Amino acid sequence: MKLIIINGPNLNLLGKREPEVYGNKTFEDYFADLQFKYKDVQLEYFQSNIEGELIGKIQEVGFSYDGIVLNAAAYTHTSVGIGDAIKAVTTPVVEVHISNTHKREEFRHVSYISPVAKGVILGFGLQSYDLAIQSFLK
C-alpha cells in the first residue's frame, strides 16, 4: 500500500499559523506519528505553496500509487487545474481539510476538488488525515 499526503499553500506553517483554527502541532511532527502508526503503509509527504508543483506531483504519482490524501488548502476553492489533474489520473484522491470549511467564510464552501474526489473528510483537525488513510485500508 503506497499512499502520499499532498499539502497545499501555507500548510508548511502548521503549528505557527492561526493555532486557534489549525492547532499547535507542526505537520512534520504529525507525519512522524502517522508513519509510526501505519508501519505497513508506504507513506510519503509532499508540500508546496505553488499550484503547478501540486499538479506536477499529482501527475507524477497518480498512475502508480494506491491513494492520494490531498489538502489543497486555499487552492481547493480556486483551482480548476488541480481538479482537472485529479480527473486525469487513475489513483483515487481523498480530499481533506483540518477545519470544517462549511462553518467558515462562504468562499470556503466551494471546492473544485470534491466533485472529482473519492470522498471528503473535513473538520476533525489533523485527525482528518488519519481518517483519510484509514479509508484506503478498508
- Site residues for ligand DQA per CB under 6 A: 10, 71, 73-74, 76, 97-99, 101, 108
Between residues 95 and 136, which has the closer beta carbon with respect to ligand DQA?
Answer: 95
Compute the distance between CA of residue 34 and CA of residue 27 in angstroms, rounded to an integer: 10
Query: Which residues does the annotation mark as catalytic?
Result: 22, 97
Smallest distance, Å, CB 57 to ligand DQA?
A: 17
Smallest distance, Å, CB 87 to ligand DQA?
A: 20
Between residues 93 and 98, which has the closer beta carbon with respect to ligand DQA?
Answer: 98
Distance of CA 79 to the CA centre of its chain: 14
Cell of 46: 509532499
Compute the distance between CA of residue 3 and CA of residue 103 in angstroms, rounded to an integer: 29
E strand map for the chain = 2-7, 42-47, 67-71, 93-97, 119-122
Smallest distance, Å, CB 73 to ligand DQA?
A: 3
Q: How many CB atoms lie within 10 A of CB 137?
A: 12
